[in-house]
Amino acid sequence: MSLHLISFKTCPFVQRAVITLKHKNIDFDITYIDLADPPDWFLEISPLGKVPVLKVDDEILFESAVINEYLDEITGGDLQPKEPLARAKNRAWIEFASNMLGNLYMMKMSKDEESYNKYRERLVSQLERVEKRLGDGPWFNGAEFSLADTAFAPFFRQDSVADGRLSVIDRATIPRTVAWAERLLALPEVRDSVVDEFEDLYLGVMEKNGSYSLQRLAA
Ligand SMILES: N[C@@H](CCC(=O)N[C@@H](CS)C(=O)NCC(=O)O)C(=O)O
């Protein structure tokens, strides 16, 4: 079976799939497209015009959470809780992480203080919820590493750009989240989930958008 991931270099949703693929040592090919100028063949196969898309031989899978469940299920299914309610809750938190990724993007691309603060406040309260949900670790569900970890990791990777100088995390108030994020960021599959030029590209997009967050950093 051949697996071919269609990616955009700064997309955190694609990074979730890359983390799962690397965590499971699954062979895959990757093609990067430019979402600002998507090729016709991509628009043809991507029902929502979004990445990630995973080509499984000639079949098309889309949506990062679905792709990750599929990758897990063809390799033993050890990244999802076995009990239905626990598995359902895991899925719900993965959706929560997707919402956080949206808010992080909106915060980073905000052009003014008001918009920046709006998304920042949302993220601060979402991080407080995550803090309450976390136990002693080491992972989101405790001892077992899961798809929730691969789903949240790109959030912390994006939050940590520029040596954490743009971070939304208040280290003093959410210590369990900070420790979990550090463990995730130290994993080789998380480190290698982004291209070498990731930070330059990510900060470049912010600059191009007139990001308030970047202006504040420079001031
Ligand atoms: N719910 C989707 C979200 C994917 C997503 O938003 N991808 C963005 C890039 S990070 C995209 O392709 N945007 C293009 C567009 O919306 O036109 C998933 O989890 O895969």
- Whether residue 8 has its Cβ less than 6 Å from ligand 1: yes
Whether residue 164 is contained in a domain is answered as yes
154 plus 203 within the same structural domain? yes
60 plus 91 within the same structural domain? no
Query: CB burial class (10 A; 0-12, 13-18, 19+) of residue 53?
Result: buried
54 plus 132 within the same structural domain? no
Q: What's residue 218's pLDDT? A: 85
- Whether residue 63 has its Cβ less than 6 Å from ligand 1: yes
94 plus 148 within the same structural domain? yes
205 plus 108 within the same structural domain? yes
Whether residue 161 is contained in a domain is answered as yes
47 plus 89 within the same structural domain? no
Please tell me the number of Cα atoms within 13 Å of 43 on its side-chain side. Answer: 7
63 plus 95 within the same structural domain? no
pLDDT value at 217 more than 90: no
Whether residue 79 is contained in a domain is answered as no
Tell me what the pLDDT averaged over the chain comes to: 97
DSSP string for residues in 115-179: HHHHHHHHHHHHHHHHHHH--S-SBTTBSS--HHHHHHHHHHHHHTTGGGTT----TTT-HHHHH
Q: Give the global pTM.
A: 0.97
Which of 10, 13, 193 to probe ligand 1 with, by most ligand atoms within 8 A of CB? 13
Q: Domain range for residue 154? A: 84-218
56 plus 108 within the same structural domain? no
- Alpha-carbon torsion angle 28, 139, 70, 20, nearest 10: -10
CATH number at residue 8: 3.40.30.10
Please tell me the number of Cα atoms within 13 Å of 213 on its side-chain side. Answer: 29
Tens of pLDDT, residue by residue over 99-156, are: 999 999 999 999 999 999 999 999 999 999 999 999 999 999 999 999 999 999 999 9
Tens of pLDDT, residue by residue over 154-199, are: 999 999 999 999 999 999 999 999 999 999 999 999 999 999 999 9
- Whether residue 98 has its Cβ less than 6 Å from ligand 1: yes
Using CA atoms, how far residue 18 sits from 8, 25, 176, in Å, is 12, 10, 25
Q: What is the DSSP letter of 209?
A: T
pLDDT value at 210 more than 90: yes
Whether residue 78 is contained in a domain is answered as no
CATH number at residue 153: 1.20.1050.10
Q: Which of 11, 14, 67, 134 is catalytic?
A: 11
Q: How many domains does the chain have?
A: 2
Taking the centre of ligand 1 as the mean of its atom positions, its distance from the CA of residue 35, in whole angstroms, is 10
Q: Catalytic annotation on 11?
A: yes
- Whether residue 64 has its Cβ less than 6 Å from ligand 1: yes
